[in-house]
Chain A
Amino acid sequence: MHVFSDPANRAVYLSSFLLILKLTGAAGVIALVFGVVLAAMRVSPVPVLRGFGTAWVNVFRNTPLTLIIFFCYFGLFVNLGVTYSDDDIDLNNFWLGVTGLAAYTAAFVCETVRSGINTVPAGQADAARALGMTFGQTLRLVVLPQATRSVVAPFGSILIALAKNATIVGTIGVLESASVMRQLINDNGDAVIPIFLVFAGTFVALLVPTGYLFGWLAKRLAVRR
Protein backbone atom coordinates (compact mmCIF):
# COMPACT_ATOMS: atom_id res chain seq x y z
CA MET A 1 0.00 0.00 0.00
CA HIS A 2 3.01 2.27 -0.42
CA VAL A 3 1.14 4.20 -3.12
CA PHE A 4 -1.36 5.63 -0.68
CA SER A 5 1.20 6.42 2.02
CA ASP A 6 2.48 9.16 -0.30
CA PRO A 7 0.58 12.32 0.76
CA ALA A 8 0.48 13.67 -2.81
CA ASN A 9 -1.21 10.51 -4.07
CA ARG A 10 -3.60 10.54 -1.13
CA ALA A 11 -4.52 14.14 -1.96
CA VAL A 12 -5.35 13.39 -5.63
CA TYR A 13 -7.29 10.31 -4.55
CA LEU A 14 -9.41 12.35 -2.14
CA SER A 15 -9.91 15.26 -4.53
CA SER A 16 -10.93 12.85 -7.32
CA PHE A 17 -13.74 11.41 -5.20
CA LEU A 18 -14.71 14.86 -3.99
CA LEU A 19 -15.14 15.77 -7.67
CA ILE A 20 -17.34 12.70 -8.22
CA LEU A 21 -19.53 13.82 -5.30
CA LYS A 22 -19.67 17.40 -6.61
CA LEU A 23 -20.53 16.26 -10.14
CA THR A 24 -23.22 13.94 -8.77
CA GLY A 25 -24.64 16.63 -6.52
CA ALA A 26 -24.73 19.43 -9.08
CA ALA A 27 -25.97 17.27 -11.96
CA GLY A 28 -28.45 15.50 -9.66
CA VAL A 29 -30.14 18.72 -8.53
CA ILE A 30 -30.34 20.15 -12.06
CA ALA A 31 -31.55 16.85 -13.51
CA LEU A 32 -34.20 16.54 -10.81
CA VAL A 33 -35.63 20.00 -11.48
CA PHE A 34 -35.41 19.72 -15.25
CA GLY A 35 -36.68 16.12 -15.23
CA VAL A 36 -39.78 17.15 -13.29
CA VAL A 37 -40.36 19.98 -15.78
CA LEU A 38 -39.99 17.49 -18.66
CA ALA A 39 -42.42 15.11 -16.95
CA ALA A 40 -44.91 17.96 -16.52
CA MET A 41 -44.54 18.62 -20.26
CA ARG A 42 -45.05 14.96 -21.14
CA VAL A 43 -48.33 14.69 -19.24
CA SER A 44 -49.62 18.17 -20.17
CA PRO A 45 -52.68 18.68 -22.37
CA VAL A 46 -50.60 20.75 -24.82
CA PRO A 47 -49.48 18.55 -27.75
CA VAL A 48 -46.40 20.65 -28.59
CA LEU A 49 -45.02 20.30 -25.09
CA ARG A 50 -45.81 16.56 -25.06
CA GLY A 51 -43.91 16.21 -28.33
CA PHE A 52 -40.92 18.15 -27.00
CA GLY A 53 -40.76 16.06 -23.82
CA THR A 54 -41.04 12.81 -25.76
CA ALA A 55 -38.37 13.88 -28.23
CA TRP A 56 -35.98 14.89 -25.44
CA VAL A 57 -36.42 11.57 -23.63
CA ASN A 58 -36.01 9.49 -26.78
CA VAL A 59 -32.92 11.34 -27.98
CA PHE A 60 -31.06 11.41 -24.68
CA ARG A 61 -31.99 7.95 -23.46
CA ASN A 62 -30.77 6.40 -26.70
CA THR A 63 -27.50 8.29 -27.00
CA PRO A 64 -24.37 7.03 -25.24
CA LEU A 65 -23.39 9.35 -22.41
CA THR A 66 -19.81 9.39 -23.71
CA LEU A 67 -21.11 11.00 -26.89
CA ILE A 68 -23.17 13.58 -24.97
CA ILE A 69 -20.25 14.59 -22.73
CA PHE A 70 -18.04 14.71 -25.79
CA PHE A 71 -20.53 16.95 -27.61
CA CYS A 72 -20.70 19.24 -24.57
CA TYR A 73 -16.97 19.80 -24.87
CA PHE A 74 -16.27 19.83 -28.60
CA GLY A 75 -19.71 20.93 -29.75
CA LEU A 76 -20.92 23.39 -27.13
CA PHE A 77 -17.58 24.72 -25.93
CA VAL A 78 -15.03 24.46 -28.74
CA ASN A 79 -17.35 24.98 -31.71
CA LEU A 80 -20.24 27.02 -30.39
CA GLY A 81 -18.39 28.99 -27.74
CA VAL A 82 -20.59 28.11 -24.74
CA THR A 83 -18.29 29.07 -21.86
CA TYR A 84 -18.94 28.89 -18.13
CA SER A 85 -15.69 30.39 -16.96
CA ASP A 86 -13.11 32.22 -19.05
CA ASP A 87 -10.16 32.09 -16.70
CA ASP A 88 -10.65 28.76 -14.89
CA ILE A 89 -10.48 25.92 -17.39
CA ASP A 90 -11.13 23.27 -14.69
CA LEU A 91 -14.29 25.02 -13.58
CA ASN A 92 -15.38 25.40 -17.20
CA ASN A 93 -14.90 21.69 -17.93
CA PHE A 94 -16.63 20.76 -14.67
CA TRP A 95 -19.79 22.65 -15.64
CA LEU A 96 -19.67 21.37 -19.22
CA GLY A 97 -19.63 17.88 -17.71
CA VAL A 98 -22.50 18.77 -15.39
CA THR A 99 -24.47 20.02 -18.40
CA GLY A 100 -24.09 16.70 -20.20
CA LEU A 101 -24.79 14.58 -17.11
CA ALA A 102 -27.86 16.64 -16.21
CA ALA A 103 -29.29 16.60 -19.76
CA TYR A 104 -28.86 12.80 -19.86
CA THR A 105 -30.13 12.08 -16.36
CA ALA A 106 -33.13 14.40 -16.74
CA ALA A 107 -34.53 12.02 -19.37
CA PHE A 108 -34.49 9.17 -16.83
CA VAL A 109 -35.93 11.39 -14.07
CA CYS A 110 -38.73 12.41 -16.44
CA GLU A 111 -39.67 8.82 -17.20
CA THR A 112 -39.58 7.89 -13.50
CA VAL A 113 -41.79 10.80 -12.47
CA ARG A 114 -44.21 10.05 -15.30
CA SER A 115 -44.46 6.39 -14.34
CA GLY A 116 -44.94 7.49 -10.72
CA ILE A 117 -47.90 9.65 -11.74
CA ASN A 118 -49.28 6.76 -13.78
CA THR A 119 -49.24 4.42 -10.76
CA VAL A 120 -51.88 6.60 -9.08
CA PRO A 121 -55.27 5.07 -10.00
CA ALA A 122 -57.42 7.46 -12.06
CA GLY A 123 -60.22 6.96 -9.52
CA GLN A 124 -58.18 8.87 -6.93
CA ALA A 125 -58.15 12.03 -9.02
CA ASP A 126 -61.76 11.53 -10.14
CA ALA A 127 -62.78 11.34 -6.49
CA ALA A 128 -60.76 14.46 -5.67
CA ARG A 129 -62.40 16.37 -8.52
CA ALA A 130 -65.81 15.09 -7.45
CA LEU A 131 -65.15 16.65 -4.02
CA GLY A 132 -64.65 19.97 -5.81
CA MET A 133 -60.85 20.18 -5.49
CA THR A 134 -59.10 22.42 -7.96
CA PHE A 135 -56.29 21.19 -10.23
CA GLY A 136 -53.64 22.45 -7.80
CA GLN A 137 -55.31 20.82 -4.82
CA THR A 138 -55.73 17.49 -6.63
CA LEU A 139 -52.08 17.54 -7.55
CA ARG A 140 -50.80 18.64 -4.14
CA LEU A 141 -53.05 16.69 -1.81
CA VAL A 142 -53.87 13.52 -3.73
CA VAL A 143 -51.69 12.71 -6.73
CA LEU A 144 -48.18 13.85 -5.74
CA PRO A 145 -48.11 12.34 -2.22
CA GLN A 146 -48.90 8.93 -3.73
CA ALA A 147 -46.70 9.37 -6.79
CA THR A 148 -43.54 10.46 -4.90
CA ARG A 149 -43.72 7.41 -2.62
CA SER A 150 -43.67 5.03 -5.57
CA VAL A 151 -40.63 6.64 -7.22
CA VAL A 152 -38.23 6.39 -4.26
CA ALA A 153 -36.60 3.13 -5.39
CA PRO A 154 -36.14 4.17 -9.06
CA PHE A 155 -34.72 7.52 -7.91
CA GLY A 156 -32.17 5.60 -5.88
CA SER A 157 -31.09 3.67 -8.97
CA ILE A 158 -30.87 6.91 -10.98
CA LEU A 159 -28.69 8.53 -8.31
CA ILE A 160 -26.37 5.51 -8.17
CA ALA A 161 -26.13 5.39 -11.96
CA LEU A 162 -25.38 9.12 -11.99
CA ALA A 163 -22.51 8.73 -9.52
CA LYS A 164 -21.02 5.98 -11.68
CA ASN A 165 -21.62 7.92 -14.90
CA ALA A 166 -19.76 10.89 -13.41
CA THR A 167 -16.53 8.98 -14.12
CA ILE A 168 -17.15 9.56 -17.85
CA VAL A 169 -16.61 13.30 -17.36
CA GLY A 170 -12.94 12.38 -17.00
CA THR A 171 -12.93 12.26 -20.83
CA ILE A 172 -12.99 16.06 -21.02
CA GLY A 173 -10.12 16.64 -18.63
CA VAL A 174 -11.86 16.68 -15.26
CA LEU A 175 -9.59 14.84 -12.81
CA GLU A 176 -12.19 12.49 -11.35
CA SER A 177 -11.55 9.01 -9.98
CA ALA A 178 -11.23 6.97 -13.20
CA SER A 179 -8.67 9.28 -14.80
CA VAL A 180 -6.75 9.61 -11.52
CA MET A 181 -6.71 5.81 -11.16
CA ARG A 182 -5.37 5.52 -14.69
CA GLN A 183 -2.65 8.03 -13.87
CA LEU A 184 -1.68 6.25 -10.64
CA ILE A 185 -1.58 2.90 -12.46
CA ASN A 186 0.72 4.34 -15.10
CA ASP A 187 3.04 5.75 -12.42
CA ASN A 188 3.00 2.68 -10.15
CA GLY A 189 3.05 -0.42 -12.33
CA ASP A 190 4.00 -2.59 -9.35
CA ALA A 191 0.86 -1.79 -7.32
CA VAL A 192 -1.87 -2.10 -9.92
CA ILE A 193 -4.20 -4.37 -7.98
CA PRO A 194 -4.13 -2.44 -4.68
CA ILE A 195 -4.83 0.79 -6.61
CA PHE A 196 -7.82 -0.74 -8.39
CA LEU A 197 -9.15 -2.26 -5.17
CA VAL A 198 -8.94 1.07 -3.33
CA PHE A 199 -10.75 2.99 -6.08
CA ALA A 200 -13.33 0.27 -6.71
CA GLY A 201 -13.73 -0.27 -2.96
CA THR A 202 -14.47 3.41 -2.43
CA PHE A 203 -17.27 3.21 -4.99
CA VAL A 204 -18.61 0.05 -3.33
CA ALA A 205 -18.46 1.72 0.08
CA LEU A 206 -20.32 4.77 -1.24
CA LEU A 207 -22.91 3.13 -3.48
CA VAL A 208 -23.88 -0.18 -1.87
CA PRO A 209 -25.14 1.53 1.34
CA THR A 210 -26.93 4.13 -0.80
CA GLY A 211 -28.71 1.31 -2.60
CA TYR A 212 -29.77 -0.34 0.65
CA LEU A 213 -30.88 3.02 2.07
CA PHE A 214 -33.16 3.71 -0.89
CA GLY A 215 -34.46 0.13 -0.83
CA TRP A 216 -35.31 0.48 2.85
CA LEU A 217 -36.94 3.90 2.30
CA ALA A 218 -38.96 2.58 -0.64
CA LYS A 219 -40.28 -0.30 1.46
CA ARG A 220 -41.12 2.02 4.34
CA LEU A 221 -42.89 4.61 2.22
CA ALA A 222 -44.69 2.21 -0.14
CA VAL A 223 -48.39 2.93 -0.59
CA ARG A 224 -50.31 -0.17 0.49
CA ARG A 225 -53.10 -0.77 -1.99
Chain B
Amino acid sequence: MSSVLYDVPGPRARRRNRLLTALCTLALLAVGLYVYRRFDARGQWDAAKWQPFGTAGLWRDFIIPGLVQTLSAAAAGMVLALAFGVVFAVARLSDRWWLRVPAGAAVEFCRAVPLLLMIFFVFYGLPFVIEAPVPAFWAVVTGLTLYNGSVLAEAFRAGINAVPRGQSEAAYAIGMRKGQVLRYVLVPQAARAMLPVIVSQLVVLLKDTALGYIIAYPELLERGVNEVAANHGNVVGCTSASTAA
Protein backbone atom coordinates (compact mmCIF):
# COMPACT_ATOMS: atom_id res chain seq x y z
CA MET B 1 0.00 0.00 0.00
CA SER B 2 1.48 3.32 -1.03
CA SER B 3 0.22 6.65 0.30
CA VAL B 4 1.37 10.24 0.12
CA LEU B 5 3.52 9.74 3.16
CA TYR B 6 4.82 6.21 2.89
CA ASP B 7 6.40 4.36 0.01
CA VAL B 8 5.67 0.67 -0.49
CA PRO B 9 7.68 -0.89 2.39
CA GLY B 10 10.80 -2.86 1.59
CA PRO B 11 12.15 -5.76 3.69
CA ARG B 12 13.68 -3.50 6.35
CA ALA B 13 10.61 -1.28 6.66
CA ARG B 14 8.43 -4.38 6.92
CA ARG B 15 10.60 -5.69 9.75
CA ARG B 16 10.43 -2.32 11.49
CA ASN B 17 6.66 -2.14 11.04
CA ARG B 18 6.25 -5.60 12.55
CA LEU B 19 8.35 -4.55 15.54
CA LEU B 20 6.33 -1.34 15.94
CA THR B 21 3.10 -3.28 15.67
CA ALA B 22 4.20 -5.58 18.48
CA LEU B 23 5.33 -2.68 20.69
CA CYS B 24 2.17 -0.63 20.09
CA THR B 25 -0.05 -3.65 20.73
CA LEU B 26 1.71 -4.15 24.07
CA ALA B 27 1.39 -0.46 24.97
CA LEU B 28 -2.32 -0.35 24.10
CA LEU B 29 -2.96 -3.58 25.99
CA ALA B 30 -1.19 -2.12 29.01
CA VAL B 31 -3.35 1.02 28.87
CA GLY B 32 -6.47 -1.11 28.42
CA LEU B 33 -5.50 -3.30 31.37
CA TYR B 34 -4.90 -0.21 33.53
CA VAL B 35 -8.34 1.20 32.69
CA TYR B 36 -9.92 -2.21 33.31
CA ARG B 37 -8.24 -2.46 36.71
CA ARG B 38 -9.30 1.07 37.63
CA PHE B 39 -12.92 0.27 36.75
CA ASP B 40 -12.63 -3.06 38.51
CA ALA B 41 -11.35 -1.46 41.70
CA ARG B 42 -14.53 0.64 41.74
CA GLY B 43 -16.68 -2.37 41.05
CA GLN B 44 -17.97 -1.19 37.67
CA TRP B 45 -17.75 -4.69 36.21
CA ASP B 46 -19.81 -6.31 38.97
CA ALA B 47 -22.46 -8.58 37.52
CA ALA B 48 -25.10 -6.78 39.59
CA LYS B 49 -24.43 -3.51 37.75
CA TRP B 50 -24.86 -5.08 34.32
CA GLN B 51 -27.68 -7.39 35.25
CA PRO B 52 -30.43 -4.70 34.83
CA PHE B 53 -29.59 -4.50 31.10
CA GLY B 54 -30.78 -8.07 30.78
CA THR B 55 -34.20 -7.32 32.26
CA ALA B 56 -37.18 -6.36 30.13
CA GLY B 57 -38.34 -3.69 32.59
CA LEU B 58 -35.30 -1.49 32.11
CA TRP B 59 -35.73 -1.50 28.35
CA ARG B 60 -39.49 -1.07 28.54
CA ASP B 61 -39.47 1.73 31.11
CA PHE B 62 -36.30 3.65 30.34
CA ILE B 63 -34.31 2.91 27.22
CA ILE B 64 -37.09 2.45 24.64
CA PRO B 65 -39.16 5.46 25.85
CA GLY B 66 -35.96 7.54 25.97
CA LEU B 67 -35.13 6.46 22.43
CA VAL B 68 -38.64 7.34 21.28
CA GLN B 69 -38.35 10.82 22.83
CA THR B 70 -34.93 11.34 21.26
CA LEU B 71 -36.19 10.25 17.86
CA SER B 72 -39.38 12.31 18.00
CA ALA B 73 -37.50 15.49 18.94
CA ALA B 74 -34.97 14.75 16.20
CA ALA B 75 -37.69 14.03 13.61
CA ALA B 76 -39.56 17.26 14.36
CA GLY B 77 -36.26 19.17 14.37
CA MET B 78 -35.16 17.66 11.05
CA VAL B 79 -38.37 18.54 9.19
CA LEU B 80 -38.48 22.09 10.59
CA ALA B 81 -34.74 22.68 10.09
CA LEU B 82 -34.93 21.57 6.44
CA ALA B 83 -37.88 23.92 5.84
CA PHE B 84 -36.10 26.77 7.65
CA GLY B 85 -32.95 26.09 5.63
CA VAL B 86 -34.70 26.16 2.24
CA VAL B 87 -36.69 29.31 3.06
CA PHE B 88 -33.70 31.26 4.37
CA ALA B 89 -31.34 30.08 1.62
CA VAL B 90 -33.80 31.26 -1.04
CA ALA B 91 -34.39 34.52 0.87
CA ARG B 92 -30.64 35.16 1.03
CA LEU B 93 -30.38 34.69 -2.73
CA SER B 94 -33.29 37.06 -3.39
CA ASP B 95 -32.86 40.14 -5.60
CA ARG B 96 -34.75 42.28 -3.10
CA TRP B 97 -32.42 43.75 -0.48
CA TRP B 98 -35.16 43.98 2.17
CA LEU B 99 -35.46 40.20 2.01
CA ARG B 100 -31.78 39.38 1.48
CA VAL B 101 -30.29 41.46 4.30
CA PRO B 102 -32.55 40.40 7.20
CA ALA B 103 -32.36 36.75 6.12
CA GLY B 104 -28.56 36.98 6.03
CA ALA B 105 -28.45 38.60 9.46
CA ALA B 106 -30.79 35.98 10.93
CA VAL B 107 -28.70 33.11 9.54
CA GLU B 108 -25.40 34.60 10.73
CA PHE B 109 -26.93 35.25 14.18
CA CYS B 110 -28.33 31.72 14.60
CA ARG B 111 -25.08 30.15 13.42
CA ALA B 112 -22.94 32.08 15.89
CA VAL B 113 -25.09 31.60 19.00
CA PRO B 114 -24.52 28.34 20.92
CA LEU B 115 -27.46 25.96 20.72
CA LEU B 116 -27.57 25.65 24.51
CA LEU B 117 -27.97 29.43 24.89
CA MET B 118 -30.99 29.34 22.56
CA ILE B 119 -32.54 26.36 24.33
CA PHE B 120 -32.08 28.12 27.69
CA PHE B 121 -33.64 31.31 26.32
CA VAL B 122 -36.68 29.46 24.97
CA PHE B 123 -37.08 27.25 28.04
CA TYR B 124 -36.30 29.67 30.89
CA GLY B 125 -36.68 33.11 29.30
CA LEU B 126 -39.63 32.87 26.94
CA PRO B 127 -42.13 31.86 29.67
CA PHE B 128 -41.56 35.30 31.26
CA VAL B 129 -42.37 37.01 27.96
CA ILE B 130 -45.37 34.98 26.81
CA GLU B 131 -46.49 34.27 30.39
CA ALA B 132 -47.03 30.58 29.71
CA PRO B 133 -44.66 27.66 30.26
CA VAL B 134 -42.79 26.30 27.25
CA PRO B 135 -42.69 22.48 27.12
CA ALA B 136 -39.14 21.06 27.11
CA PHE B 137 -39.90 19.29 23.83
CA TRP B 138 -40.58 22.56 22.00
CA ALA B 139 -37.61 24.29 23.61
CA VAL B 140 -35.34 21.56 22.24
CA VAL B 141 -37.02 21.50 18.83
CA THR B 142 -36.94 25.31 18.49
CA GLY B 143 -33.24 25.42 19.32
CA LEU B 144 -32.43 22.55 16.97
CA THR B 145 -34.47 24.16 14.16
CA LEU B 146 -32.92 27.62 14.43
CA TYR B 147 -29.34 26.39 14.73
CA ASN B 148 -29.29 23.49 12.28
CA GLY B 149 -31.68 25.32 9.95
CA SER B 150 -29.24 28.20 9.62
CA VAL B 151 -26.34 25.81 8.97
CA LEU B 152 -28.47 24.05 6.33
CA ALA B 153 -29.40 27.43 4.81
CA GLU B 154 -25.71 28.14 4.24
CA ALA B 155 -25.24 24.66 2.76
CA PHE B 156 -28.18 25.12 0.37
CA ARG B 157 -26.94 28.56 -0.62
CA ALA B 158 -23.44 27.25 -1.33
CA GLY B 159 -25.01 24.41 -3.32
CA ILE B 160 -27.20 26.73 -5.40
CA ASN B 161 -24.22 29.01 -6.06
CA ALA B 162 -22.17 26.00 -7.14
CA VAL B 163 -24.59 25.03 -9.94
CA PRO B 164 -22.90 26.10 -13.20
CA ARG B 165 -24.09 29.52 -14.43
CA GLY B 166 -25.04 28.06 -17.81
CA GLN B 167 -27.85 26.10 -16.17
CA SER B 168 -29.77 29.15 -14.96
CA GLU B 169 -28.90 31.15 -18.08
CA ALA B 170 -30.32 28.38 -20.27
CA ALA B 171 -33.44 28.24 -18.10
CA TYR B 172 -33.97 32.02 -18.38
CA ALA B 173 -33.33 31.76 -22.13
CA ILE B 174 -36.22 29.35 -22.62
CA GLY B 175 -38.47 31.81 -20.80
CA MET B 176 -38.68 30.49 -17.22
CA ARG B 177 -39.41 32.96 -14.44
CA LYS B 178 -37.07 33.30 -11.45
CA GLY B 179 -39.20 31.06 -9.25
CA GLN B 180 -39.32 28.40 -11.93
CA VAL B 181 -35.55 28.54 -12.47
CA LEU B 182 -35.07 28.02 -8.77
CA ARG B 183 -37.69 25.30 -8.45
CA TYR B 184 -37.06 23.25 -11.58
CA VAL B 185 -33.36 23.84 -12.27
CA LEU B 186 -31.28 25.09 -9.36
CA VAL B 187 -32.72 23.49 -6.20
CA PRO B 188 -32.92 19.91 -7.57
CA GLN B 189 -29.29 20.03 -8.67
CA ALA B 190 -28.09 21.78 -5.52
CA ALA B 191 -29.93 19.37 -3.22
CA ARG B 192 -28.31 16.40 -4.94
CA ALA B 193 -24.82 17.91 -4.74
CA MET B 194 -25.23 18.92 -1.10
CA LEU B 195 -26.78 15.65 0.05
CA PRO B 196 -23.70 14.49 2.02
CA VAL B 197 -23.55 17.83 3.89
CA ILE B 198 -27.29 17.75 4.56
CA VAL B 199 -27.18 14.20 5.90
CA SER B 200 -24.20 14.86 8.17
CA GLN B 201 -25.91 17.99 9.54
CA LEU B 202 -29.02 15.94 10.27
CA VAL B 203 -26.83 13.47 12.18
CA VAL B 204 -25.44 16.40 14.18
CA LEU B 205 -29.04 17.40 14.91
CA LEU B 206 -29.82 13.91 16.21
CA LYS B 207 -26.75 14.04 18.45
CA ASP B 208 -27.68 17.49 19.70
CA THR B 209 -31.00 16.25 21.06
CA ALA B 210 -28.83 15.09 23.98
CA LEU B 211 -28.77 18.76 25.06
CA GLY B 212 -32.38 18.22 26.06
CA TYR B 213 -30.90 16.38 29.04
CA ILE B 214 -29.86 19.71 30.50
CA ILE B 215 -33.42 21.04 30.61
CA ALA B 216 -34.75 17.66 31.80
CA TYR B 217 -36.36 16.64 28.52
CA PRO B 218 -36.72 12.86 29.10
CA GLU B 219 -34.63 11.74 26.09
CA LEU B 220 -32.27 8.77 25.98
CA LEU B 221 -29.35 10.36 27.83
CA GLU B 222 -31.54 11.72 30.60
CA ARG B 223 -33.25 8.33 31.01
CA GLY B 224 -29.98 6.41 30.94
CA VAL B 225 -27.89 8.61 33.11
CA ASN B 226 -30.29 10.14 35.59
CA GLU B 227 -32.75 7.39 36.20
CA VAL B 228 -30.91 4.14 35.49
CA ALA B 229 -27.45 5.09 36.77
CA ALA B 230 -28.93 6.71 39.85
CA ASN B 231 -30.85 3.54 40.66
CA HIS B 232 -28.12 1.02 39.94
CA GLY B 233 -24.84 2.96 40.23
CA ASN B 234 -23.59 1.64 36.89
CA VAL B 235 -22.19 4.68 35.14
CA VAL B 236 -20.05 2.74 32.66
CA GLY B 237 -22.88 0.53 31.50
CA CYS B 238 -25.32 3.42 31.11
CA THR B 239 -22.82 5.52 29.23
CA SER B 240 -22.11 2.72 26.80
CA ALA B 241 -25.84 2.14 26.31
CA SER B 242 -26.35 5.81 25.44
CA THR B 243 -23.28 5.78 23.18
CA ALA B 244 -24.37 2.68 21.32
CA ALA B 245 -27.60 4.44 20.41
Contact = CB atoms under 8 A, between A and B. Distances in A.
Contacts of A64: 207-211, 221, 242
Given A48-B21, A208-B112, A66 B213 contact: yes
A180 to B, nearest CB: 10
Interface residues of B, number: 50
A192 B116 contact: no
B9 A45 contact: yes
Given A63-B243, A125-B4, A129-B7, A178 B235 contact: no
B236 interface: yes
Contact of A70 (B207, B221, B236): B221
B112 A45 contact: no
A48 to B, nearest CB: 5
B26 to A, nearest CB: 10
A66 B21 contact: no
Contacts of A207: 112
B55 interface: no
Given A62-B207, A66-B213, A181-B120, A167 B114 contact: yes
A167 B4 contact: no
Interface string B83-99: 00000000000000000
B172 interface: no
Interface stretch (A2-10, A91-99, A183-191, A213-221): A183-191
Interface stretch (B58-66, B125-133, B163-171, B183-191): B125-133
Given A48-B28, A171-B214, A189 B128 contact: yes
Contacts of B108: 204, 208
A203 B120 CA distance: 15
A34 interface: no
B105 to A, nearest CB: 10
Contacts of B125: 185, 192-193, 195-196
A170 to B, nearest CB: 7
Interface string B43-68: 01000000000000000000000000
B211 A168 contact: yes
Contacts of A79: 42, 44, 235-236
Task: Specify which of A52, A165, A178, A181 lies most central, judged by the most chain B CB atoms within 10 Å of its CB.
Answer: A178
A49 interface: yes
Interface in B4-18: 4-7, 9, 13, 17
Nearest to A120: B4
Contact of A117 (B5, B7, B221): B5
Contacts of B120: 178, 181-182, 185
A173 B242 CA distance: 22
Contact of B239 (A75, A165, A189): A75
A18 interface: no
Interface residues of A, number: 61
A135 B7 CA distance: 9
A139 B5 contact: yes
Contacts of A71: 235, 239
Given A168-B211, A171-B214, A203 B44 contact: no
Contacts of B243: 59, 62-63, 67
B24 interface: yes
A203 B21 contact: no
Contacts of B1: 45
Contacts of A160: 112
A139 B7 CA distance: 12
A150 to B, nearest CB: 12
Given A67-B243, A178-B114, A117 B128 contact: no
Interface of B: 1-7, 9, 13, 17, 20-21, 24-25, 28, 38-39, 42, 44, 108-109, 112-118, 120-121, 124-126, 128-129, 207-211, 213-214, 221, 225, 229, 235-236, 239, 242-243
13 contacts: A45-B1, A45-B9, A46-B21, A63-B207, A67-B239, A74-B225, A75-B235, A122-B2, A124-B4, A167-B116, A168-B116, A178-B120, A203-B114
Closest 8 CB pairs of A and B: A64-B210, A164-B114, A192-B125, A189-B128, A66-B210, A167-B114, A207-B112, A200-B113
